[in-house]
């Protein structure tokens, strides 16, 4: 709190002028409080020290009031422009508001008509389904805290879904499909666990241990005292995770003695479902994928997009939808955005919270970023009935709820799963493919189709270790990039962790390193790993 003392004449009246930091967008009103002989003014900038008048000289009083007129100039709130309203942009906005000790203007520009980025819903019939990021794991601690903060409800995933591993010709492995009765589901779950251990042995336990080992390191990223990082490399190195981005998941697992059968079947299936890739992805991305395939998976009732939408609302940011960014022009650390509409916006700082790999934003001066390709996932939503004969089965009920595939030439899809069953002959299915599924393929996979919707997502990076990272600060001034961290792992939680660091980094450089305590802050320890 800064202050100025004004001592006026023999009356010894002391006026304390104070600046009180508030977490509001702009100082919109002045307040005055008199406590005994002290008058307190709040919410204005002070730039002078002590002014004293020892007599009743009118001219000195005039000078004092002239100075006061300058003193009462409102603080200029810094304007931060965020590009993208997905979980990364929303988290930056939220933590900027909560960490900032001074007024700050936050503007968010989204090129689509809805908030959420790669978190989106699709309507099939009268129901809505997750079209983008669909699952959240128990180990996603920031997402857990956000959901609590926003008062959202969770939908727990079914823990008894049957699995079949298909190689394009036959099922290599298949678990039992459970019924509706509670005890039958529990018995089926136990039997399926036995089947899994019978096929893959103790390597299953090694898989759980491997994920827990890396998560214990990841857990340190939540601690407030870990520091603030200007590169993803340094952030990962600080917790011992950087090396896991420099070689493949397959290399990691082979070195730890995983069975070839587990790697080529179950783990490959998980990678193809979660990342559309195989065990050639980086070790860290692979571990994040494995963590997202375990127990206690959930989603937000009504749609995961509600998390970024809620965070943006809490941060009191100005949101602009349908605003495609054309260029970012930087001059001496000041930024001018040009939108497709022709509008131009001035910003003190710019945060890019969308992948730059497939956008055509013109940066002046030019940016030099490491080359990175995005992995496209083609998702088809089909309402109808699967064709059991395609898989060598007699009836649809003979097929598992989730069909995953191994890395074999000619396998035309990554996975097929039932999202909702209305009757024995009426279901909604979700199909992941690496290329756009043709009508010919869908007609082979389904004996009946009443509704079909196709979505092409630039869903995540195409991992090719050793990974190279762009810095969080792109120009040495105040142009920041959240999505560089996706080269380590692409998930809602990873984006939130990176975004929190970017918010702290921006404020520490713009506001002199003074951060307040946010609402969502918790220091996690290794005990949390055991609990989760």
Is residue 106 within 8 A of residue 315, CB to CB? The reply is yes
Among 71, 86, 103, the domain-final residue is 71
Whether residues 314 and 363 fall in one domain = yes
Is residue 96 within 8 A of residue 364, CB to CB? The reply is no
> Residue 528 — pLDDT band, cuts 50, 70, 90?
very low
Residue 394: CA atoms inside 13 Å, Cβ hemisphere, count?
A: 0
Sign of torsion, CA 212 218 224 227? positive
For residue 237, tell me if it sits in a domain: no
Is residue 82 within 8 A of residue 93, CB to CB? The reply is yes
For residue 420, tell me if it sits in a domain: no
- What was the pLDDT predicted at 518? 54
User: How far is residue 100's CA from residue 84's CA, in Å, rounded to a whole number?
Assistant: 21
For residue 287, tell me if it sits in a domain: no
Is residue 463 within 8 A of residue 277, CB to CB? The reply is yes
- pLDDT above 90: residue 493: yes
Which among 167, 195, 176 has a CA at the least distance from the CA of 269? 167
Whether residues 12 and 57 fall in one domain = yes
Is residue 256 within 8 A of residue 197, CB to CB? The reply is no
- What was the pLDDT predicted at 62? 53
- What was the pLDDT predicted at 83? 98
Average pLDDT on 174-183 reads 80
User: How far is residue 116's CA from residue 307's CA, in Å, rounded to a whole number?
Assistant: 8
Tell me which residue has tokens 């939808």: 321
- What was the pLDDT predicted at 349? 97
Q: Which of 274-278, 471-475, 511-515 has the lowest mean pLDDT?
A: 511-515
For 398-428, how does the pLDDT look when each residue is reduced to its tens digit (9 = 90+)?
Answer: 999 999 999 999 999 999 999 999 999 999 9
Structure tokens at 531: 């609990």
Residue burial 209-236, b: 16+ Cβ < 10 Å; e: rest: ebbbebbbbbbbbbeeeeebbbebbebb
For the chain, the domain total comes to 2
For residue 128, tell me if it sits in a domain: no
For residue 458, tell me if it sits in a domain: no
Distances (CA, A) of 474 to 261, 294, 362, 363, 364: 43, 36, 14, 11, 12
- What was the pLDDT predicted at 296? 80
- What was the pLDDT predicted at 177? 86
**Neighbouring C-beta atoms of residue 70, cutoff 10 Å:** 11
> Residue 522 — pLDDT band, cuts 50, 70, 90?
very low
Tell me which residue has tokens 């990364």: 88
Is residue 153 within 8 A of residue 301, CB to CB? The reply is yes
Structure tokens at 409: 């030439």
- What was the pLDDT predicted at 185? 75
For 355-407, how does the pLDDT look when each residue is reduced to its tens digit (9 = 90+)?
Answer: 999 999 999 999 999 999 999 999 999 999 999 999 999 999 999 999 999 99
For residue 345, tell me if it sits in a domain: yes
Is 402 in a helix, a strand, or coil? strand
Structural domain including 49 reads 2-71
For 94-123, how does the pLDDT look when each residue is reduced to its tens digit (9 = 90+)?
Answer: 999 999 989 999 999 999 999 999 999 999
For residue 185, tell me if it sits in a domain: no
- Cβ neighbors of 28 (< 8 A, separation 6 or more) are none
Average pLDDT on 161-181 reads 90
User: How far is residue 234's CA from residue 98's CA, in Å, rounded to a whole number?
Assistant: 24
Is 301 in a helix, a strand, or coil? coil
User: What percent of the chain clears pLDDT 90, i.e. is strictly above it?
Assistant: 72
- What was the pLDDT predicted at 516? 60
Among 16, 49, 71, the domain-final residue is 71
- pLDDT above 90: residue 302: yes
- What was the pLDDT predicted at 224? 86
Higher-pLDDT residue of 342, 28: 342
> Residue 160 — pLDDT band, cuts 50, 70, 90?
low
Average pLDDT on 136-141 reads 89
User: How far is residue 201's CA from residue 208's CA, in Å, rounded to a whole number?
Assistant: 13
Structure tokens at 327: 């260029």
- pLDDT above 80: residue 28: no
For 68-82, how does the pLDDT look when each residue is reduced to its tens digit (9 = 90+)?
Answer: 554 555 567 899 999
Mean pLDDT score of the chain: 85
- Which CB contacts under 8 angstroms, 24+ apart, belong to 209-212? 210/252, 210/253, 210/256, 210/287, 210/290, 211/287, 211/290, 211/291, 211/294, 212/529
Among 44, 71, 98, the domain-final residue is 71
For residue 186, tell me if it sits in a domain: no
User: How far is residue 312's CA from residue 106's CA, in Å, rounded to a whole number?
Assistant: 10
Structure tokens at 363: 């940066």
- pTM as predicted: 0.84
Distances (CA, A) of 325 to 110, 330, 356, 371, 453: 9, 14, 12, 21, 28
Q: Which of 155-159, 243-247, 255-259, 279-283 has the lowest mean pLDDT?
A: 155-159
For 445-492, how does the pLDDT look when each residue is reduced to its tens digit (9 = 90+)?
Answer: 999 999 999 999 999 999 999 999 999 999 999 999 999 999 999 999
Where are the strands (E) in 101-186, listed by range?
A: 104-109, 121-124, 127-130, 136-137, 154-156, 163-166, 171-174
* Distance linking the first and last C-alpha atoms of the chain: 42
CA dihedral 215, 219, 220, 224 (to 10 degrees): 160
- What was the pLDDT predicted at 512? 62
CATH of the domain at 318: 3.50.50.60
User: How far is residue 431's CA from residue 236's CA, in Å, rounded to a whole number?
Assistant: 34
Residue 42: CA atoms inside 13 Å, Cβ hemisphere, count?
A: 13
Average pLDDT on 160-177 reads 93
- What was the pLDDT predicted at 75? 61
- pLDDT above 70: residue 11: no
> Residue 64 — pLDDT band, cuts 50, 70, 90?
low
Q: Which of 64-73, 155-164, 426-435, 436-445 has the lowest mean pLDDT?
A: 64-73
- Cβ neighbors of 136 (< 8 A, separation 6 or more) are 143, 144, 297, 298, 299, 300, 304, 492, 493
- What was the pLDDT predicted at 138? 86
Is residue 224 within 8 A of residue 530, CB to CB? The reply is no
- pLDDT above 80: residue 220: yes
Whether residues 369 and 474 fall in one domain = yes
């Amino acid at each position: 709190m800064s202050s100025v003392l004004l001592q006026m004449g023999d009356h010894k009246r002391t006026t304390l002028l104070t600046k009180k930091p508030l977490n509001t967008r702009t100082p919109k009103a002045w307040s005055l409080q008199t406590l005994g002989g002290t008058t307190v003014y709040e919410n204005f900038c002070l730039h002078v020290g002590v002014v004293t008048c020892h007599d009743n000289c009118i001219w000195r009083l005039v000078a004092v009031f002239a100075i006061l007129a300058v003193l009462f100039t409102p603080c200029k709130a810094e304007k931060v422009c965020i590009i993208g309203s997905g979980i990364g942009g929303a988290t930056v906005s939220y933590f900027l508001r909560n960490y900032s000790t001074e007024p700050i203007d936050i503007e968010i520009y989204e090129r689509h008509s809805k908030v959420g980025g790669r978190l989106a819903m699709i309507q099939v019939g009268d129901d809505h389904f997750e079209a983008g990021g669909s699952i959240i794991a128990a180990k996603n601690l920031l997402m857990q805290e956000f959901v609590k903060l926003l008062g959202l409800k969770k939908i727990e995933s079914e823990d008894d879904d049957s699995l079949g591993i298909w190689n394009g010709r036959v099922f290599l492995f298949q678990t039992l499909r459970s019924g509706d009765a509670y005890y039958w589901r529990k018995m089926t779950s136990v039997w399926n666990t036995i089947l899994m251990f019978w096929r893959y042995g103790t390597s299953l336990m090694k898989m759980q241990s491997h994920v827990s080992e890396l998560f214990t390191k990841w857990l340190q990223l939540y601690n407030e005292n870990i520091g603030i990082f200007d590169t993803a490399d340094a952030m990962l190195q600080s917790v011992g995770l950087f090396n896991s981005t420099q070689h493949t998941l397959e290399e990691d697992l082979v070195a730890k003695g995983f069975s070839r059968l587990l790697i080529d079947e179950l783990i490959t299936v998980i990678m193809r479902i979660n990342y559309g890739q195989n065990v050639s992805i980086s070790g860290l991305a692979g571990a994040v994928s494995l963590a997202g395939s375990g127990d206690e998976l959930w989603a937000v009732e009504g749609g995961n997009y509600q998390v970024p939408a809620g965070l943006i609302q809490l941060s009191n940011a100005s949101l602009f939808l349908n605003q495609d960014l054309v260029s970012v022009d930087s001059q001496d650390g000041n930024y001018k955005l040009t939108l497709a509409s022709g509008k131009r916006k001035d910003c003190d700082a710019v945060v890019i919270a969308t992948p730059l790999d497939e956008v055509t934003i013109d940066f002046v001066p030019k940016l030099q970023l490491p080359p990175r390709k995005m992995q496209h996932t083609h998702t088809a939503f089909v309402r109808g009935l699967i064709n059991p004969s395609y898989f060598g089965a007699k009836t649809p009920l003979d097929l598992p709820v989730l069909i995953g595939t191994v890395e074999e030439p000619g396998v035309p899809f990554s996975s097929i799963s039932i999202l909702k069953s209305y009757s024995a002959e009426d279901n909604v299915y979700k199909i992941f493919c690496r290329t756009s599924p043709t009508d010919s393929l869908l007609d082979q996979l389904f004996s009946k189709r009443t509704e079909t919707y196709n979505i092409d997502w630039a869903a995540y990076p195409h991992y090719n270790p050793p990974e190279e990272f762009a810095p969080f600060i792109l120009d040495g001034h105040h142009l920041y990039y959240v999505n560089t961290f996706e080269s380590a792992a692409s998930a809602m939680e990873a984006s939130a962790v990176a975004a929190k660091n970017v918010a702290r980094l921006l404020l520490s450089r713009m506001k002199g390193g003074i951060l307040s305590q946010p609402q969502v802050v918790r220091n996690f320890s290794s005990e949390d790993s055991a609990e989760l």
